[in-house]
Structure 1
Amino acid sequence: MLVEVDKSFKERLIDFTMYCRERQFMLGPQETRDAFSIAEKGYALDRKLFQYSLKAIYCKRKEHFDRFDEMFQRFWSRYYEEKLEKRKKQIKQLKKEKETATVIFLGTEFKLPKKEVKEHEAKETVGANESIRLRYTDFSKVDVTDKEKLEELAEELFHQMSMRFKRRLENSNRGRIDIRNTIRQGVSKGGLLLDLSYKKKRKEKRKVIFILDVSGSMDTYSYYLLRYVLVLKKYFKSLEFFTFSTHLTHITPMLRQNNELEILKEIGKNVNSWSSGTKIGESLQEFLSDYGSKLLSQKHIVVILSDGLETGSVTELKEAVRTIRRKCKTLVWLNPLKGMDGYQPIQKGIVNVMPHLDAFESAHNLDSLLKLEKLLMDV
C-alpha cells in the first residue's frame, strides 16, 4: 500500500541525496527515484528500515558503507525528533485551534494552525542560510548558542576537504593505465572493466610544520586551526606541530592517537601557556635552536598563525622569520586580523616580517581555513 509523502519530506530527501553526492557518493536520478519509491511504500515510517533501505540504494563502495550510518544519523536524527515532538504538540492543540491548515506527513493528516505553518516555512528558510552565515562568521564573534552548530559545520567541511585531499593525492600519483591489472581485476567481476588500474608514480607526500600562537588574543583561532590540522595530518609524510605564547611547546607527540577528543584533552593538559602573553620572536628562536636543524628543509612548508602583536623584541622576530624562510621551501603567515574590514598590516611585528613571507593570508573563519587547501596542495 502506497502512502502520500509530503513536499517538505521530498525536499529533505533530495537534500540528503545532494549531501551524499557532495561526499563522493555516486548518485543519480535513478537512486533518487528509488529513494522516493521506498518512502512512498511506507519504509520512512520506520526510521531503521528507512536507513537500511537507503543504505542499500546509495552505497556502492566499502568506504560508502563505512560512513553511511554516521551520515544518516547526523542528517536525519534531528528531523525525526522534531517531527515526533511536533506530533505530540499538534494532538494537544488540535481541539483549541479554529483556523487550521491541512498538512500531510508520510500519509498521516494533521491539522495545524496557519500561523504555525508559516513559522515552519520561515524556519526552513533560516536553516538553509545558517550554514552560510556560520561559514563566514569570525571565530571570535560566534555567539555561545551557535558554537555547537559551528563545531558540526567545521567537522563536516573539514571532512569534505579531507576527501578532496585524498582524491587529489591519488590522482597525482597515477601514471599510465595498467592494462594487465585492469583485466585481472575485471575477471572477478564477470569480465567487466569497472575500475581502471594505474601504474603509480613515485611522489613523496608533502611535509609541513605548523606553529600556532595560543596567546590570549589568538586562542579561539588556534583551536580551529588545530582541528583543521588533526583532519589533514594523515596526508603528510611529515607533519610537525608547535604552539607558543611566552614559550614553545612541541605538540606532535600528542597527535599520535587516533581519537580527536583524546588528543584535545592531552594538549589541554600539557600546554600550560595557552591564553597567556605573547613573545613571538623569542618562541621562533627557540624553535630554530631546538628543532631547526633537525626538522627544517627545502621540502617543507612552514605555517605560522599569529596576529603579529609582538611584546618582545621586533628585531629578534625579524631575524627568526628570515632564518626560517631561508631554510624552508615556503613560509606562510596566517593573521586573523586580516579578515577585519579595513585591516592594514601596520603592526611593527608584521611590517618587519612581511618581506620574508611567501604568503600572508587570513584565518579568521571557516571559509578562510578552507582556502589554505590550495596552498598546502601546491607544496
Structure 2
Amino acid sequence: MAPEGRNEARDQMEYAPLELPDTPQLTRNITHFARALRVAGLPAGPGRVADAIAAVAAVGFSEKAEFYYTLRACFTARPEHRVIFDQVFRLYWRDPRYLDHMMSMLLPAVRGAAEERMAKPAEKRAAEALLQGVERDTPDLEGGEEASEIEVDATLTMSREERLKTLDFEQMSVAEMAQAKRIIAQMTLAVPPLSSRRTLASSRGAQPDWRRTMRGAMRHGGDVVDFARKDRRQRWPSLVALCDISGSMASYSRAVLHFLHAVANQKGAGWADVHAFTFGTRLTNITRHMGARDVDAALAAAGAEAQDWEGGTRIGACLEDFNRDWSRRVLGQGAVVLLITDGLDRDEPERLEAAMERLSLSSRRVIWVNPLLRWDGFAPKAAGIRAMLPHVSSFRAGHNIAALQGLAEAVARPDDAGEKARLMAAL
C-alpha cells in the first residue's frame, strides 16, 4: 500500500525538478527554504533546519519523492502544516518559473482573456514568503509600436479595506490577517437589555405602584395625594462562546477568538459577563485568559491552556461536558450562546442531538456560526449538522470580517434566524 499522501506528493511534481547543486549550495538552499516556511507561518527554527540538512545527507534523493518526504518530515509537525509546506515546496523546488507565478499572484488583477484564478489556501502566503526582499518590476506599457493597450474596468473595484472584509480568513496572507485583526479589534457586539420581572420606582413608569401609593396616603390621613408608578428593571444577559479549535477550524477560530477578546474588553457593550470555552477533543475554559488587555498574550495563554488545538473534533462529548459542569454556572439570567463550529463531528448523531437540545433549553438563544455557509451550494447533508440545526435560534456564516459584522447585527435582533429557515426546508 502506498504511504499516506503519496498522491498528494505526486501532484506536487507536475513540473520537472530543478537540478540539485552540490552540498554547500544545497545547504544554503534548504536554509533559504526554511526561512520562507518560517515567514509563511511554520515553526521552522534552526533546529529543524539542521535536522533537515542532516536528513537529506543521510537519505539522499535518488528518487523524486524522497526529497519531498524528507523535508516534509522535518518541517511539518501537524497535518494542517502540509498545506503551506506543499505550496512553498512547489514554488521553490519544482516550478522553474516560480518567480513569475508568484508575481502574477501578487500583482493587481486585470480583466483580460484569461479568467482570474483564485489562490489556493496558503498559496498567497507562500508567495509572499518567497518574494520577501525581491523587487517587483512593473512592466513598461508606454512607447513602442507593439505595446498593447490594457483596459482596466474599475467600475466594481473596492477599497483595500472593503476587499479585506469580504476575503475568506483561510485565503488571507500574513499581512492581510494582521490588518484584519486590527479591524476586528475595533468591532462591537452590542446587545439590548432584558426586562426583568422585578420592578423599581419610576416617575414615568408604565405600571401604578399601589403599595407606595397607599403608604403615601397614610402620611396624609388617608388622602391619595399622588399616584406612585413603577417600571420593570432592566438587566444585561451574559455571553457564552463555545469555539471549535479543531484542524478544520484553525484559521477561523483564531479570528473569532480575536473578536471575542475585543468583546470581553469592551466597556459599555452591555454584557453582564463574557465566558469563552474552546473544544476539540475536550472542553477548555479560557475565560480568564480573554480578560488580558494584550490580545497576543491572551491568545498565547489560551493556546497553552487548550492542549487539543488543531486536533480532532468531538462536539457531542464536549457539549455534554459543558452541560454537566458549566451550564448552571454561566447560562443563568438568559445567556446568549455563540457556537462556532463547522458541525463535522465524529460522535453519534443521537448523542450530539441530545446535548444540543439541552443547551438550547438552558440558554436564551443559541447562535450557530459556521464557516461552511460561505459556499453557495451549502446543504445540511452531514449527520452532525442535521442533528444540531433544529436546536439553534440563528444560523450565520463566520468566514470573513463582513460575516462577523453580520453576526453583531444578528445578536442585536432577537428575532434573527439567519439561514436556518432555508436549511430546515432542505432537511
TM-score norm. by structure 2 comes to 0.49
Counterpart-to-counterpart distance in 1, 2:320 and 2:184: 35
Listed one character per residue, the Cα deviations across residues 143-180 of structure 1 (whole Å, up to 9, x for unaligned) are x3xx3233224423541x33x849x88xxxxx999xxx
In structure 2, distance between residues paired with 1:149 and 1:139: 9
Are residues 1:354 and 2:389 paired? Answer: yes
Question: Which residue among 360, 371, 377 is the counterpart of 1:336?
Answer: 371
| Residue in structure 2 matched with residue 139 of structure 1 by the alignment | 169
Residues 238 and 331, structure 2, Cα contact 8 Å, conserved in 1: no
Alignment of 1:172-183 (within 5 A): none
Q: Does 1:265 align with 2:300?
A: yes
CA contact (8 A) 2:169 2:177 kept: no
- Structure 2 unmatched runs, 5+: 1-141, 144-148, 194-201, 205-231, 415-427
How many Å apart are 1:264 and its aligned residue? 1.4
Partner of 2:183: 156
Partner of 2:5: none
Counterparts of 1:208 and 1:155 in 2: how far apart (Å)?
Answer: 22
Could you give the per-residue CA deviations for residues 83-123 of structure 1, whole angstroms, max 9, x where no partner exists?
xxxxxxxxxxxxxxxx99xxxxxxxxxxxxxxxxx99xx9x
Alpha-carbon distance in structure 2 between the residues aligned to 1:222 and 1:345: 21
Is the Cα–Cα contact under 8 Å of residues 214 and 243 in structure 1 kept in the other structure?
A: yes
Equivalent residue, structure 1, for 2:342: 307
- For the 8 Å contact 1:281–1:316, the answer to whether it is kept is yes
Distance 2:277 2:246 in 1: 13
8 Å contact from structure 1 (residues 211, 243) kept in 2: yes
Unaligned runs of 5+ in 1: 1-98, 101-117, 170-174, 178-200
**Against the structure 1 CA distance between its residues 125 and 264, is the aligned structure 2 distance closer, same or farther, given a 3 Å change threshold?**
farther
**What is the alpha-carbon distance in structure 1 between the residues aligned to residue 184 and residue 312 of structure 2?**
31
Q: Which of 353, 368, 373 pairs up with 1:318? A: 353
**Structure-to-structure mapping, 1:1-379, within 5 angstroms:** 129-142=159-172, 144=173, 147-156=174-183, 158-159=185-186, 161-162=187-188, 165=190, 203-233=234-264, 234=266, 235=269, 236-297=271-332, 299-378=334-413
User: Does the Cα contact within 8 Å between 1:154 and 1:366 map onto a contact in 2?
Assistant: no
Q: Cα deviations across residues 161-213 of structure 1 (Å, max 9, x unaligned)?
A: 33x849x88xxxxx999xxxxxxxxxxxxxxxxxxxxxxx9632331100011
Change (3 A) 1:212 1:298: same
> Do 2:239 and 2:337's aligned partners in 1 also have CA atoms closer than 8 Å?
yes
The letter of the residue matching 1:337 is L
Distance 1:176 1:213 in 2: 48
Q: How far does the alpha carbon of each residue in 1:307-335 deviate from its partner, in whole angstroms, 9 at most, with x for none?
A: 11111121111000000101111011111
- For residue 377 of structure 1, report the CA deviation from its aligned partner: 2.5
Answer 1 or 2: which has greater helix percent: 1
| Matched residue type, 1:262 | A
Aligned residues: 228
What fraction of aligned residue pairs are identical, expressed as a percent? 26
1:132, distance to aligned residue in structure 2 (A): 2.2
Kindly indicate whether the alpha-carbon contact (under 8 Å) linking 1:208 and 1:300 is maintained by their aligned counterparts in 2: yes
Q: CA deviation at 1:140?
A: 1.5
Q: Distance in 1 between matches of 2:358 and 2:333?
A: 12
Q: Cα distance 1:290–1:157, how it changes in 2: closer, same or farther (>3 A)?
A: closer
Q: 1:309 and 1:367 mapped to 2: Cα distance? A: 24
Aligned Cα RMSD in Å? 3.2
Shift of 1:241: 0.4
The answer for the alignment partner of 1:42 in structure 2 is none
CA distance in 2, matches of 1:331, 1:298: 14
1:371 counterpart SS class: helix
Question: How far apart, in 1, do the equivalents of 2:165 and 2:276 lie?
Answer: 25
